[in-house]
Structure 1
Amino acid sequence: MNVIRSSNDILESTNINISKSVINRTLVLSHVYHACMTFGTQQIFEDLMIMIMFIYRTGGMILYNRSTMIVYGNWISNKSKQNGKIYVKNAGTVLRPILTLLVCSNIKSYIYGNISMSRRPVNDLIECLYDGRKYRHCVRFSKDNGYLPISIFHGCGKVRDQYIIKCDKSSQYVSSLLMIIPKYQDRLVMLKMKNFTRSQSYLELTKYIIRVLGISFVSWSNNIIIKPFNHRLVNKESLSRLMEMDMSSISYYLVRCLIKKTNTVFVIYGVRKCNKQYDIYLINIMRKIGVVYVFLKNAIILKSNHTQRDRLSLIIDCRDIPDSAITLLALVFDKIYTVKLFNIFSLNHKETNRIYALCREMSRIGCAYRKGGNWMIIKNKTYRRRVSRTYNDHRIAMIMGIIDRAIVNNPNCTKKTFPAFFKKGYYR
C-alpha cells in the first residue's frame, strides 16, 4: 500500500509519548532488580513522574539534564528509610506493582491517591497476597473496604507455592505478581487466574518484558508457573531497549485523519511495525474506514482517503484494546453511523466509569445511546454544541477534544499521559 503526497497535501509531523504501560513496568523491574533506564526528558508525563519519585524515595538514583534522564534502580532493604506515606495520585500502573512490592517486602506504608484513585479497587490483589485469610491486622482500608487509602502494617510473609487471583477487574493484578514474586521466591510458584482476564494483551506485554529480563515461566490456559530466578543472571541492559511509544495515542491521529476535510498527511515518529502493544491493531480497523498508512523504519505515515464516503456501522471487540477503541466514538458524526463496543467491562474501573461518562457526554452533544455493564452503542441523531465534562479522565478529555461540537472544560487532566495534546494543537 502506497501513500503518495500530492502538491495539495499539508504535512504535519510529531512525536508521541512513551507508553506508560511499558515504561512503568520496566522502571519497576529496573528498581527491584537493580538495573538502569535511560529516556528523554521531553517525554516525561505525570504517571511516569510519580513512579520516578517512588524510586527516588526508596533508594534509587536519578540523573538528568535538559534532554536525558537516567534512573538507577536500587531497591534497598533498610526498612526505616522506606516507612512513610506514598502518594500515587491517579496512576494505576504505579499503584498495583508498588503495593505488591511493599506487601511482599513487609514494609509499613500508607498509600493514598486523589478522588479518582479512591474509586479503583485493590481488594482482590490484597486478598490474593494474603491468601484470602483475614488481613485486618495486616492491612487496613481507611474509608471504603477495598479502596484507597490503605495502611500496610505487616507483610504477607514468605512466598507461597500458589496464588489464586481474580482478574475480572484488571489484568494488572497478575502483572504485578509476575514482576515482584521472582524477587523473593526460592521454589516453583503457580499463579491461577480466576474469572475472565481483562485486557489480556497487557498481560502478554508483561510476559514479554520479564522474559527479556531473564525470568523463566510456563503458561497455559489460566495458569502460570514461575521458575526460581537467579538474580545474578538478570539481563540488566535489556530493559532500555524495550522502550516503545504509546500506541493508544496514535488512535487520536487516526481519527483526526478522517475528521479533517483538508488533505493532511501525518508523520508520527517513534512508531515501529513490530510493536508489542496490541493497540497497533487498531490501524487495521481504521483502514476499513478510509485511513491509508505506511510504516517506515521508525515512523508511520497516515493519510485519509476522502473518496470513501460511505458511512459505516462498526462492531468492535475491545478485549485487547479497550482504551484506544473508544476513540472511534468521535467518528460517529462523520464517517460512522453507529458504533457498538463490547468486552469493555474494565472501563468501569478506570479513572472514572468511562461507559457511563462517555454515554452521558455523547448524548449531550446529540447522540443516542444504549449501554450495559460490558457494552455500549452510540448512534448519531442531531447536532448540538455543548460544554463537555471530562470527569478528570485524560482519555475522555482527548476524545471530546477531537469532536468539533464539544467544548472541553478541563483540558489539564491530559497531563497524566499526554501533556502536549491541547497545547500543541493535536486535536480538531
Structure 2
Amino acid sequence: MDSILLKKNRESFQKKIPLASSKSESNRALIINALCGFKGELENLASARDTQTMIRLLKETGEVADVLDAGTTMRFLTSYFAAKGQQKLMTGTPRMQERPIGILVDALRTIGVEIDYQKNDGYPPHLIKGFTEQKSSEVSIRGDVSSQYISSLLMIAPTLPKGLKINLVGEVGSIPYITMTINLMESFGVKVEADWSKNILSVAPQSYSPIKYKIESDWSGASYWYSVVALAEHADAEIELLGLKENSLQGDSAIVEIMSQLGVKSTFTENGVLLTKIEPKSSFEWDFTNCPDLTQTVAVVNVMKRISATYTGIESLKIKETDRVFALQTELQKLGGELVEVEKDHKYEIRLTEIPSETPVIETYEDHRMAMAFAPAAMMREVIIEEPGVVVKSYPEFWEHLAEVLEQETNA
C-alpha cells in the first residue's frame, strides 16, 4: 500500500503557493461552453482528474460515458447528454454506482427524457435513451440532497424548447454553488430568475453566447493552506495563495470567515490572499449547509488545536466520495478527537479525547479530501497518509506544493 510520511514542521515559513484552479467552476464552464457549441474560450481550466474526465467525455462520441469517481461529472453530463438527445450509458466506479442519481433522473423523466436503470433503481449505471419532446416545463426537486442536481438542470434549462421552472422542495443546501451556476450562466448571456423567497428558479428558452472566460483558483484547495497556517507553531508563519478573488463565486470562500475564528487572518492582495496567524477563539460553531466540503478540513483543525466545536449541515457528507461522516468519526480518534452525532442527521459535536502517542496512520477511503484535510496535522506531529495519490481528483499538485513547508517520505 502506498503511503506518505509527513514529518513535523520545525521551521517558520513565508511562502507563495500557486493554487490549483477551481474544479467546480471549471466543470460548469465546460458544460455551458459545450451548450454554446464549444465556441467559447476557457482559460485556466483545472488539472483535477474530475475536470479532465469531463473534457474527455465531452469530446468522445462512443455510447458509454465512464465518469470514474467524478460525481459532478456524472450529474452534469447526465443532463447534458439528455438535453442533446444522445444515447449514452452513464457509468463509473463501484463507489459511483452507490451514489444516488434518482432525484435527477426523476426530474429529467418529468421533462420527457427516457432513462432506464441498468442495475439498481436510483443509482448508476443508467442508460439515456432519448429526448424527442418536452412533456413538462416545470419540475419539483428536493433542495437538501445535492445542489449539483439543481445546477445540472439549470444549465440545460435555456436550451429546452419550453425553458424550465424548478421548484425547490424543503430546505435548500449549498446555495452558493447554485448561485455560482446562475452567475456563470449569466456571464454566457442567459438570464435566470431566482425567487429565493419561494425557492423557485425560472429559465426561459434562450441561447448561450460564447465568451472568453478565465477560471478562478480553487477555494476548496485553499482551505488546506488555511489549516497549515492555523496549525503552524511559529507566530510569523505566513502563506500567500495566488489566484483567489475576494468576491468569489465559490461557496468554499467561507473558509475566510471560518478560519478567522480558528487563528488565521486573510488579507487580500493584488495576486490573491495573504494568510497570517492570529489568536483563535476558545470554542467554535458552524452550519456547513452551504460549504459541506470544508467540514473535514475544519474538523482536523478543531482537534489539533483542542477547540471543541458544534457542527450542523453536514448530512450530505454521507453520499460523497465516501461516507465522510463515518470516515471522520474513525480517523479523528487517531488525533485525539471524536465526531459525535448528538441529534440524528442534524447536529454533531467535536469532542476532545486523549491524544494517542503513536504516529497516526490516516486512511483516505478513496477520498481526496480526507488526504488533504489530515495532512496539515503534520504541522504539529508526524503523520502518515495512506494512498496519497487520491489527491489527483481535485488537486494533483498538492504534495508537491506541501513540500514547501513539510518534509515528506514516500513509501510505495
Normalising by the smaller structure, the TM-score range is 0.7 to 0.9
Conserved in 2, the CA contact under 8 Å of 1:270 and 1:298? yes
Shift of 1:132: 9.1
* Structure-2 residue corresponding to 1:397: 371
2:263 paired with 1:290: yes
| Aligned position for 1:407 | 384
Aligned to 2:361: 387
Whether the 8 Å CA contact 2:44–2:216 is kept in 1: the answer is no
Q: C-alpha distance in 2, partners of 1:265/1:132? A: 51
Identity of counterpart residues, as a percentage?
24
Matched, 1:204 2:207: no
| More RCO (CA 8 Å, sep 6+) | 2
Distance 1:178 1:224 in 2: 8
Q: Secondary structure at the match of 1:279?
A: helix
RMSD over equivalenced CA pairs, Å = 2.2
Contact kept, 8 Å, 2:288 with 2:311, in 1: the verdict is yes
Q: How much does 1:46 deviate?
A: 0.4
Cα-to-partner distance string for 1:346-404 (whole Å, 9 max, x where unaligned): 11111011111111111243323312423322222111233221110110111122223
Which ranges in structure 2 are unaligned for 5 or more consecutive residues? 1-10, 407-412
Indicate the residue corresponding to 1:251 in structure 2. Answer: 223
- Structure 1 residue 324 and structure 2 residue 300: aligned? no
Residue identity matched to 1:177: L
Q: Any gaps of 5 or more consecutive residues in structure 1?
A: 1-7, 58-81
Please give the alpha-carbon distance, in whole angstroms, between the structure 1 residues aligned to 2:41 and 2:329: 40
In the alignment, what sits opposite 2:69? Answer: 90
CA distance in 2, matches of 1:331, 1:338: 10
CA distance in 1, matches of 2:325, 2:36: 38
Q: Is residue 331–residue 362 contact of structure 2 (8 Å, CA) maintained in 1?
A: yes
1:68 — aligned with what?
A: none
Cα deviation, residue 311, structure 1: 6.1
Counterpart AA for 1:394: H
Spell out the pairing of 1:126-141 with structure 2 (5 A cutoff): 126-131=105-110, 138-141=114-117
Q: 1:336 to 1:316 in 2, by over 3 A?
A: farther
Alpha-carbon spacing, 1:281–1:362, altered in 2? closer, same or farther (3 Å): same
Between 281-290 and 342-351, report the one with greater CA deviation. Answer: 281-290
User: 1:207-247 CA distances to partner (integer Å, 9 max, x unpaired)?
Assistant: 11111211122221211121221x3xx43125x14x21111
Is the alpha carbon distance of 1:273 and 1:354 closer, same or farther for their aligned partners in structure 2, counting shifts above 3 Å? same
Residues 1:132 and 1:296: Cα distance change in structure 2 (over 3 Å):
closer
Which residue identity does 1:166 align to in structure 2?
R
Determine helix, strand or coil for the equivalent of 1:337: coil
- Cα displacement (A) at 1:340: 1.8
For 1:326-365, list aligned pairs within 5 A: 326-365=296-335
1:275 aligns with 248
Q: Which residue of 2 aligns with 1:79?
A: none
Is the Cα contact below 8 Å between 2:261 and 2:281 reproduced in 1? no
1:88 Cα offset (Å): 0.3
Aligned to 1:366: 336
Task: Say whether residues 1:56 and 2:51 are aligned partners.
Answer: no
Alpha-carbon distance in 1 for matches of 2:192, 2:169:
19
The amino acid of 2:110's aligned partner reads: D
What's the offset of the Cα at 1:112?
0.9
Whole-angstrom distance in 1 between the partners of 2:88 and 2:183: 30
